[in-house]
Amino acid sequence: MTPAGAAHTLARVTNTLAATDPVTAAARIRGVLGDGPVLVLTGAGVSTDSGIPDYRGPGSPPRTPMTYQQFVGDPAFRRHYWARNHVGWRHVHRTRPNAGHLALARLEAAGVVSSVITQNVDTLHEAAGSRSVIDLHGRYDRVVCLECSAVLPRERLAERLAALNPGFAGMVDDVEIAPDADAALASTEGFRVADCARCGGVLKPDIVYFGENVPPARVRRGYRLVEEAAALLVAGSSLTVLSGRRFVRAAADAGLPIVILNRGATRGDALADLTVDAGCSEVLAALADSYAS
Q: Which residues are catalytic?
A: 137
| 48 marked among binding-site residues | yes
**DSSP class per residue in 131-193:** -SEEETTEEEEEEEETTT--EEEHHHHHHHHHHHSTTTGGG--S--B-TTS-B--S--TTPPP
* 3-state class (DSSP) for residue 224: helix
| 92 marked among binding-site residues | no
Q: Which of 145, 252, 267, 120 is nearest to 198 (CA)?
A: 145
| 49 marked among binding-site residues | yes
| 131 marked among binding-site residues | no
> Sign of the C-alpha dihedral, residues 63, 45, 124, 108?
negative
| 262 marked among binding-site residues | yes
| 62 marked among binding-site residues | yes
Q: How far apart are CA 231 and CA 252, in angstroms?
A: 10
| 280 marked among binding-site residues | yes
| 160 marked among binding-site residues | no
CA distances from 196 to 146, 147, 244 (A): 9, 9, 31
| 42 marked among binding-site residues | no
Binding site as annotated, residues for Zn(2+): 145, 148, 196, 199
Known binding site for NAD(+): residues?
Answer: 43-63, 119-122, 236-238, 262-264, 280
Q: Which residues are annotated as a binding site?
A: 43-63, 119-122, 145, 148, 196, 199, 236-238, 262-264, 280
